[in-house]
């Protein structure tokens, strides 16, 4: 059964893509580019049905709907507030602070009060690794939250670095004066009119909780210890908050609270005589303004940080590459992803053995599955994202040096070769291989070639951050019989959520398998 509807022609909605400068990335792109690959994947690619856990966007789907809780709490709102509070302690005068993850070290401060902060932290925390910072995940989270809530498309750059020490205080608080807020936004890099717009954009989702601001939102005695007053009556990231402010129906606590000290949204919205709010009453103006200001907000980083170009969808992307071991052969897993759908398309993977040729029979295979992995964001860009998954048997004696693809679109045009701009997709070594099929989150199993016995087999463990946590040596897994010239090694690590690099030292040379991930190990399909 074919998973796709009949072929539809691929139409890119240029008006939406126009927000980004993408071609720069698309032209410079060469696989592998770990940071770009990961961010692009989190933005534009889900895992598809049956694999719900390996994408931040699927987290939005499960946990962070625009309205996910009985009181109207919104995971998407929590993510957006989290991003703002991290960025808000930038200092434009000396170039310090910004979206740098210092917020994680500042969550006990009054200015960062709220269970929503802890939710966002938990949602994001599975995704950072040695290539991808927590602050890049936060930026991606904002873009996904906006897309999920029918808000603007927010262009995403990557390359933020995480701080290891807390930054200064300075997130705006309701009881501050308009002058204090204006100065605070100036330090964040926003002028007084941007302050009005960005606050309206942020306060278009979510609301104020009694647990966090009991003076503004009293609990409902006997009904709920927590209570929640939404900024407006829609869950969408749209301009309803503006319209309801302008026509006097708003329930936004930061506009109508009876304690005039606390109505900071009123002071801000009213600060230019409502000129900006009247402009934002036009939905397209609201969308464009919020896109621009959200992007500026998440691109507010310390002056020492250089961000990449905007990361647009990569048309043909290779990922999930894993050479592993089966019973009679090695197994090459890899996926090729397209951003347009074509049910007549035929894709073949081809590979070369260690000597560069094919001396062992067939060196090609067809997909084992084709999956639709379109996300809300990619769908809103007019893309239909689908993955061709391969699990190809590779002769263990002759092994593999590189692979590439042949693509026949089935439309009468000549088949094309996709070979990473001529180099092929290289498999740098087969001496140490992760065996996801036998590993769990707790136990890591690796296969190591035994023709030259290794002097050491070990793993570098990275917690969910940039820096090495620990290095551990593997022991022989005596319960797994050697096969195909490989011995098996094992290690039980107490942390269940980490990434790691595998190493085998052979005759003075260290062979490495870069960045594998435990958290999703149990979701790895069987061969
Ligand atoms: C003077 C400026 C601001 C003040 C005083 C302020 C204050 C507040 C307060 C008191 C809450 C309620 C939080 C809770 O009950 O847990 C809130 C929620 C929120 N704020 Fe702001 N805010 C400001 C600007 C912004 C900006 C610029 C953004 C984003 C661009 C933003 C995004 C949000 C979001 C999304 C929520 C809802 C959170 C949720 O529902 O969990 N805020 N804000
Ligand atoms: C990682 O290590 C480097 C070098 O020691 C250090 O400067 C940096 O702050 C660390 N990063 C984090 C997030 O701990
Ligand atoms: C105020 O604006 C909201 C949002 O557009 C609308 O639903 C509501 O009917 C308006 N109310 C009045 C009294 O104009
Ligand atoms: C209004 O809020 C301010 C700031 O939290 C507080 O100091 C003041 O006592 C409040 N006023 C009233 C009448 O509750
Ligand atoms: C701005 O609009 C609000 C809400 O309608 C209103 O209360 C306020 O008086 C207006 N400000 C000015 C300067 O007209
Ligand atoms: C993978 O694991 C499944 C069960 O978990 C097992 O049936 C299968 O034989 C394993 N395949 C390989 C190649 O180890
Ligand atoms: C693998 O290749 C070797 C060397 O060409 C050959 O002798 C062997 O039969 C092949 N094994 C399989 C399973 O095809
Ligand atoms: C080990 O390395 C040495 C020096 O590079 C080389 O002479 C020798 O042949 C190697 N041994 C094997 C088994 O590859």
CATH code of the domain containing 470 = 2.60.40.10
| Ligand 8 centroid – CA 506 distance (Å) | 9
Same domain for 405 and 337, yes or no, is: yes
State the virtual CA torsion across 53, 126, 311, 94 in degrees, nearest 10.
160
Same domain for 177 and 224, yes or no, is: yes
Same domain for 204 and 223, yes or no, is: yes
Ligand 8 pocket list (CB less than 6 A) = 452, 507
Q: Is the dihedral of CA 482, 486, 487, 491 positive or negative?
A: negative
Domain boundary among 407, 426, 445: 426
Same domain for 353 and 226, yes or no, is: no
Q: Which two tokens stand for residue 89?
A: 């302690």
Same domain for 125 and 223, yes or no, is: yes
- Classify residue 393: in a domain, yes or no: yes
Domain of 166?
38-43+62-298
- Classify residue 14: in a domain, yes or no: no
- Radius of gyration for the alpha carbons in the chain, expressed in angstroms and rounded: 26
Same domain for 197 and 228, yes or no, is: yes
| pLDDT value for 22 | 42
Number of domains in the chain: 3
Domain boundary among 251, 268, 298: 298
d(CA 444, CA 260): 59
| Ligand 8 centroid – CA 507 distance (Å) | 6
- Classify residue 342: in a domain, yes or no: yes
Atom 12 of ligand 2, residue of closest alpha carbon:
164
- Classify residue 256: in a domain, yes or no: yes
Tokens 């407006």: give the residue. 232
| Ligand 6 centroid – CA 326 distance (Å) | 8
CA dist list (Å): 308 to 19, 31, 160, 458: 16, 16, 9, 33
- Indicate the pTM of the whole model: 0.92
Bridge partners, residue 433, by sequence:
447
Same domain for 139 and 276, yes or no, is: yes
| pLDDT value for 16 | 38
Mean pLDDT for back-to-back runs of 10 residues, the chain (527 residues): 29 37 59 94 75 52 61 88 98 98 97 93 89 96 93 98 96 98 98 99 96 89 82 96 98 97 98 98 98 98 97 94 93 94 97 91 91 88 94 94 98 97 97 90 91 97 89 96 97 81 97 82 42
Pocket test residue of 173, 254, 261 for ligand 4, highest count of atoms within 8 A of CB: 261
| Ligand 6 centroid – CA 355 distance (Å) | 30
| Ligand 4 centroid – CA 408 distance (Å) | 70
d(CA 387, CA 321): 13
Tokens 């693509």: give the residue. 407
Domain boundary among 426, 448, 464: 426
Provide the CATH number for the domain around residue 406: 2.60.40.2440
Cβ-contact 387, 336 below 8 angstroms: yes
| pLDDT value for 2 | 30
Sheet holding 499-506, edge to edge: 468-473, 456-462, 499-506, 509-517
Same domain for 512 and 498, yes or no, is: yes
- Classify residue 93: in a domain, yes or no: yes
| pLDDT value for 375 | 84
Same domain for 214 and 118, yes or no, is: yes
Provide the CATH number for the domain around residue 98: 1.10.520.10
Same domain for 132 and 223, yes or no, is: yes
- Classify residue 194: in a domain, yes or no: yes
- Classify residue 52: in a domain, yes or no: no
Same domain for 248 and 122, yes or no, is: yes
For residue 246 and ligand 5, the question of a CB distance below 6 A is answered with yes
| pLDDT value for 17 | 40
| pLDDT value for 349 | 98
Atom 5 of ligand 5, residue of closest alpha carbon:
246
Same domain for 237 and 286, yes or no, is: yes
Give the closest ligand to the alpha carbon of residue 362. 7
- Classify residue 21: in a domain, yes or no: no
- Judge residue 328's burial from the number of C-beta atoms within 10 Å of its C-beta, 0-12 exposed, 13-18 middle, 19 or more buried: exposed
């Amino acid at each position: 059964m074919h998973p796709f509807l009949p072929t539809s022609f691929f139409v890119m909605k240029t008006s939406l893509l126009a927000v980004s400068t993408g071609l720069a990335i698309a032209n410079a792109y060469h696989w592998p580019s770990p940071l770009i690959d990961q961010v692009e994947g989190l933005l534009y690619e889900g895992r598809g049905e049956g694999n719900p856990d390996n994408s931040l966007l699927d987290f939005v789907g499960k946990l962070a709907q625009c309205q996910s809780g009985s009181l109207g709490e919104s995971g998407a709102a929590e993510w957006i507030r989290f991003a703002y509070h991290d960025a808000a302690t930038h200092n434009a005068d000396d170039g310090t602070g910004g979206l740098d993850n210092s917020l994680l070290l500042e969550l006990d401060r009054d200015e960062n009060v709220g269970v929503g902060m802890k939710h966002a932290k938990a949602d994001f925390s599975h995704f950072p690794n040695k290539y991808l910072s927590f602050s890049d995940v936060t930026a991606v989270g904002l873009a996904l939250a906006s897309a999920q809530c029918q808000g603007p498309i927010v262009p995403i750059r990557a390359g933020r670095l995480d701080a290891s020490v807390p930054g200064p205080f300075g997130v705006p608080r309701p009881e501050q004066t308009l002058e204090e807020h204006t100065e605070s936004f100036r330090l964040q890099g926003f002028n007084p009119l941007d302050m009005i717009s960005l606050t309206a954009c942020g306060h278009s989702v979510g609301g104020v909780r009694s647990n966090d601001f009991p003076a503004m939102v009293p609990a409902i005695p006997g009904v709920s210890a927590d209570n929640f007053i939404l900024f407006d009556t829609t869950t969408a990231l749209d301009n309803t908050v503006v319209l309801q402010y302008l026509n006097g129906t708003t329930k936004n606590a930061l506009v109508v609270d009876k304690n005039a000290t606390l109505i900071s949204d009123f002071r801000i919205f009213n600060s230019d005589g409502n000129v900006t709010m009247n402009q934002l009453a036009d939905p397209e103006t609201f969308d464009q303004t919020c896109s621009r200001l959200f992007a500026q907000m998440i691109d507010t980083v310390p002056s020492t940080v250089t961000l990449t170009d905007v990361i647009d969808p990569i048309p043909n992307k290779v990922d999930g590459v894993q050479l592993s071991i089966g019973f009679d052969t090695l197994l090459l897993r890899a996926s090729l992803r397209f951003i347009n759908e074509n049910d007549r398309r035929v894709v073949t993977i081809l590979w070369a053995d260690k000597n560069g040729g094919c001396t062992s029979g067939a060196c090609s295979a067809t997909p084992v599955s084709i999956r639709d992995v379109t996300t809300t964001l990619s769908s809103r860009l007019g893309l239909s994202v689908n993955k061709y998954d391969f699990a190809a048997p590779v002769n263990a004696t002759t092994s593999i040096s590189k692979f590439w693809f042949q693509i026949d679109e089935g439309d009468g045009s000549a088949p094309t070769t996709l070979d990473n701009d001529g180099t092929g997709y290289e498999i740098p070594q087969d001496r140490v291989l992760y065996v996801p099929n036998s590993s769990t989150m707790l136990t890591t199993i690796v296969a190591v070639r035994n023709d030259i016995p290794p002097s050491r087999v070990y793993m570098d463990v990275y917690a969910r951050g940039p820096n090495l946590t620990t290095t551990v040596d593997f022991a022989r897994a005596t319960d797994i019989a050697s096969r195909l010239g490989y011995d098996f090694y094992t290690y039980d690590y107490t942390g269940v959520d980490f990434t790691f690099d595998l190493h085998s030292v052979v005759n003075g040379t260290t062979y490495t398998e870069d960045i594998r991930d435990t958290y999703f190990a149990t979701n790895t399909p069987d061969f």
